[in-house]
Structure 1
Amino acid sequence: MTKVNARILIVDDDPDILLAAKMFLRKYFHIVHTEKNPAHIPDLLRNETYDVILLDMNFSRDANSGKEGFYWLNKILEIDPAAIVIFITGYGDVELAVQGIKEGATHFILKPWDNQKLLATIEASLKIRVSKVELENLRSTNKLLVADQDHVFSNIIGQSKAMERVLKTVEKVAKTDANVLILGENGTGKEVIARAIHRASPRKDNMFINVDLGAITESLFESELFGYKKGAFTDAREDRAGRFEAANHGTLFLDEIGNLLPGLQSKLLSVLQSRKVVRLGSHKEIPVDVRLICATNMPLYEMVKENKFRQDLLYRINTVEITIPPLRERVEDIEPLLNHFLEIYTKKYKMPQKRIGPGTLKRLQMHSWPGNVRELQHAVERAVILSEGNMLEPQDFFMNEVPESTNEIFPVNMNLEETEKMLIRKVVDKHGGNISRAAKELGLTRASLYRRIEKYGL
């Protein structure tokens, strides 16, 4: 006979009842615990999860009214809203037992019980338990998602060789459950890549949960990531799943992981190693199955050398590492990105289609874009809103004005190459991307200027 993998708790002040129930039920269920004193119920439930609880309606100090049974029923449901409680009652208390069902009990059984009826009642209750747990998890997850909407991102736009290499890696790693670390400057599209991995993975039908670790304070870290029980702290008015639970069977994206304080790094590492979380205010370990993707713009390897980031955590999160190139190193992608954003914002603001002039495109391609794709996107949105014509000019993008004279003073700590790079960028910007004019002012041939532009990644 195969035992059912379920946990049963029996609470009754009659030791004969406890012994008889345990001897019978342990033949059918893996774990059967008994408890004589109902005052121990809260501690039992905080340290263990029970699938079914058999609860006596009347204890010795309150032999007939059933009030004590109702009291402990309410306590159980406060601790575990998905708890399944079966009242144990005598023939004379059937009316009270029916009232108990109205107040949250699932079934009641009469003393002395028929063993087969008891077994059938518990088996039926286990099915209800599964449904209640799923419902509670869904409610908790939905509440979490109200504040964490899953934004819709368009397909990745990139035709440069640098982005082709990134996309090939994404395609390979997406098919696996390997942890991924995404590196790149601000605005390069780290979250877009993370979502692309999720959408192409076997977990695509489950949740993608995004956590901005840079926006979570140290005091909220555990409650946000691991969840909490009702009463764990002042504002904990109900049980709530953390981000790990919400992402169960899906993908958890930890953005800005480089901002995580050393003390919190060890807590995260512990969960990643055990694949179990413990909600604040509880001692129960909850298994979690998540695919982890992390991202940062910070130099993690340098931080490891400086003891600012745990080396064992770095090894844990970067089974596969993806570095997204900055926009200045994928100039070929600027034009398709421009067209993409133009289409989005002309539709959004109900404006006629706008175009980018050849001179404007060259100017935009020569810009360094310190904010990368995000900066380009915002620049296009502003240009669409504020431009007066259908042909967008450099001034529509509010590009920084280039001084008329190139004889300005450069920082004294710059070396020759840095000075040359800055000078070339400024002169090319000044002439709106016109290479012939820039080369003439710099005293170079067009070929020489092109070689320097390629050398400095301008």
Structure 2
Amino acid sequence: MLLSEAKILIIDDDVDVLSAAKLLLKRHAKLVDIEKNPQKLPFLVTNNDYNLILLDMNFTRDVNSGREGFHWLDRILDINPKTKVIMITAYGDIEMAIRAIKAGATDFVLKPWENDKLLNTIEAALQSGASLLAATGTANEEKTKEDSKKGKPSADTIIASSDSMKQVLHTSERVAATDANVLVLGENGTGKTQLAKHIHQHSKRADKPFVTVDLGALSETLFESELFGHVKGAFTDAKEDRAGRFEEAKGGTIFLDEIGNLTLPLQAKLLTVIQERRVTRVGSNKPIPLDVRLICATNMNIEKMVEEKVFRQDLLYRINTIELDLPPLRERQEDIAVLADFYLKQFSKKYNRPVTDISSALIKKMQQYNWPGNIRELQHAIERAVILSQEKTLQPDDLFLKSSGGQASTATGFDLEDMEKTLIVKAMKRFNGNITDAARELGLSRAALYRRMEKYGL
């Protein structure tokens, strides 16, 4: 598609960014809409046929983790998987870029951008097919569905050799055969979503939808519309009837993540739906019967929240017929080596890297580490190490871990920027200054390598 024929939406909480982008793009594109509030994205995407969306990764509530951006990227692709999405951020690094593309984004740009480069990126996105990583992800999702029907292990299979995790899995598989509501507890990154999928895949509902809702990312104003749906004309942006997430999960499982973040008024609304097993769309008075399996999760001390009267006890009774508590990675050291090996093989194949093994010294280092980010941190650490390592066996210096002060460090005491600079210098020497070869070896684009070389004065 030509840029001159494209309909573009720009979502950013910075009005200056919105104004500058619209001023540039309106001279080249057929239509350019801007919006400061990401909460309006579902309605905009549903009611407009955008070819491309420029989406900020970081909004005011979530300063620089990219969490909100990834949430809204998922919602866009849920509504229209064909929409091209370019993520924009002022906090660019290789991990964020990889995660964005892996999650389905077409490309990734840093702000402030150069106008010509932004236009080139948009034109390339419009003319390209789905990104390789996004296509791979779609294929994997289809394979997961097919494998779950056949009883085969999928990409979401939980890997565990520790007694504590084996017990959790044993209980979860017994529970899966019933329709009992399940509450999954555990720190961030312990695998609560994977356990919920595991229960779904071992249930009688495995061939039906598994719908995930991140309650922590929903505002109070969108809660009812998102979960319960709405009818045309229910409010200003409601241009057509829309089913909520509960209806989308018909016959399957709905997973409500971060349920501890709900305010008391929203807890009351959710409790009513769970008790009555029916939902009423916003703007309608016609109840719709529900046939869903409910799994909830939180990283909060929900019993203490009940004592402090910030979480309803009657709602807790409804959602935790069965309670599963995921142990943190530091309490299941037996699993660290097998998880690291699993991710090593996964990412070596995904990024076509020649890394095949993990040294015993690195295994020891990982087992001595506290893993505050749990499995998610281990996964990202191995992914980054596979991308940046120039050897077949990962060594202690290849892994970026957090020190007790929370800053990234390595066994040699380098901080993250020192290590990245060192890796770039090594790659440039290895390829005699050839930017293309060095960038390919580092897993970076030429533009990204240039930016880093300028940053480090190389």
> Is TM > 0.5 for Structure 1 vs Structure 2?
yes
Contact 2:355/2:393, CA 8 A, preserved across alignment = no
> CA offset at residue 154 of structure 1?
2.9
TM-aligned CA distance change 1:228 to 1:402, over 3 Å = closer
Look up the match of 1:72.
none
Give secondary structure in 2 for the equivalent of 1:303.
helix
* SS of residue in 2 equivalent to 1:223: helix
Q: For 1:164 and 1:375, how far apart are their aligned partners in 2?
A: 21
Q: Find out whether 1:159 has 2:149 as its counterpart.
A: no
1:396 is the counterpart of 2:398: yes
Q: Which runs of 5+ in 2 are unaligned?
A: 1-76, 84-102, 104-137, 145-154, 406-410, 414-458
1:249 partner amino acid: G
In structure 2, the partner of 1:278 is: 280
**Residue 288, structure 1, aligned to residue 325, structure 2:** no
Q: How far is 1:342 from its partner?
A: 0.5
2:210–2:253 contact (8 Å) kept in structure 1 = yes
Q: Distance in 1 between matches of 2:211 and 2:355?
A: 35
Q: Which amino acid aligns with 1:398?
A: F
Match of 2:258 in 1: 256
- Of residues 337, 342, 345 in structure 2, which corresponds to 1:335? 337
Paired AA for residue 167 in structure 1: L
Which residue of structure 1 lines up, in the alignment, with residue 185 of structure 2?
183
- 2:234 aligned partner: 232
Query: Which runs of structure 2 are paired with 1:296-311 in the superposition (5 Å)?
Result: 296-311=298-313
Matches within 5 A, 1:1-400: 144=79, 146=81, 153-400=155-402
User: What displacement does 1:144 show?
Assistant: 4.8
CA contact (8 A) 2:225 2:281 kept: yes
Root-mean-square deviation over aligned CA pairs? 2.3
User: 1:267-308 CA deviation, whole Å, 9 max, x = no partner?
Assistant: 000000001111011110111111100000000000000011
C-alpha change, 1:400 and 1:220, in structure 2 (3 Å) is closer
Structure 1, residues 28-78: CA drift from partner, whole Å, max 9, x if none?
xxxxxxxxxxxxxxxxxxxxxxxxxxxxxxxxxxxxxxxxxxxxxxxxxxx
- Aligned mates of 1:282, 1:394 — CA distance in 2: 60
**Superposed CA offset, 1:94-138 (max 9, x none):** xxxxxxxxxxxxxxxxxxxxxxxxxxxxxxxxxxxxxxxxxxxxx
1:412 aligns with none
- SS of the residue corresponding to residue 295 of structure 2 reads strand
The 2-side partners of 1:265 and 1:145 are apart by 30
1:248 Cα deviation after fit: 1.3
Q: Secondary structure at the match of 1:321?
A: strand
Tell me if structure 1 keeps the 8 A contact 2:355–2:391: no
> Quick one: distance in 2 between partners of 1:361 and 1:388?
18
* Alpha-carbon displacement from aligned partner over 1:80-99 (angstroms, at most 9, x marks no partner): xxxxxxxxxxxxxxxxxxxx
Give the counterpart letter for 1:208 in structure 2. F
Aligned residue runs from structure 1 range 403-414, under 5 A: none
- The unaligned stretches of length 5 or more in structure 1 are 1-141, 404-428, 432-458
Displacement of 1:352 after TM fit?
A: 1.2
Is the CA contact 1:213–1:260 (under 8 Å) kept in the aligned structure 2? yes
**Structure 2 residue identity aligned to 1:309:** F
Q: Is the 8 A contact 2:277 2:290 kept in 1?
A: yes
Q: TM-score, normalised by structure 1?
A: 0.55
Matches of 1:371 and 1:396, distance apart in 2: 18
Aligned CA distance change for structure 1 residues 176 and 385 (closer, same or farther; 3 Å): same
Give the letter for the 2:213 counterpart. Answer: V
Equivalenced residues, count: 265
Mapped contact 1:354–1:384 kept (Cα < 8 A): no
Alpha carbons 1:232, 1:281 under 8 Å: kept:
yes
Q: Aligned letter for 1:330?
A: R
Task: Rate the CA distance shift 1:402–1:319 in 2: closer, same or farther, 3 A.
Answer: closer
State how far apart, in whole Å, the 2-side matches of 1:188 and 1:264 are: 26
Query: Is the contact between residue 210 and residue 254 of structure 1 (CA under 8 Å) also seen in structure 2?
Result: yes
Structure 2 CA distance for partners of 1:214 and 1:400, relative to 1, 3 Å: closer
Q: Which residue of 2 aligns with 1:130?
A: none
Give the SS at the match of 1:339.
Answer: helix
Q: Percent identity?
A: 57
TM-score, L = length of structure 2: 0.55
Amino acid at match of 1:338: A
Which residue identity is paired with 2:284? S
Provide closer, same or farther for how the CA distance between residues 379 and 143 of structure 1 changes in structure 2, counting only shifts above 3 A: closer
- Retained in 1: the 8 A contact 2:354–2:391? no
Q: Report if the CA contact (8 A) 1:184-1:323 is conserved.
A: yes
Question: Aligned-pair distance for 1:145?
Answer: 8.0
Alignment CA distance shift 1:243-1:298 (3 Å): same
Q: Secondary structure at the match of 1:293?
A: strand
> Which residue does the alignment assign to 1:118?
none
Aligned with 2:401: secondary structure? coil
- Given that 1:224 and 1:243 are in contact with CA atoms closer than 8 Å, whether structure 2 keeps it comes out as yes
Deviation of the 1:400 alpha carbon: 4.3
| Aligned partner of residue 292 in structure 1, secondary structure | strand
Q: Distance in 1 between matches of 2:156 and 2:338?
A: 13
1:276–1:285 contact (8 Å) kept in structure 2: yes
The Cα shift of 1:234 comes to: 1.3
| Whole-angstrom CA distance in 1 between matches of 2:335 and 2:285 | 51
Task: Say whether the 8 Å CA contact 1:258–1:309 is kept in structure 2.
Answer: yes
User: What is the distance in 2 between the residues matched to 1:267 and 1:189?
Assistant: 28
For residues 227 and 343 of structure 2, the distance between their equivalents in structure 1, rounded to whole angstroms, comes to 34
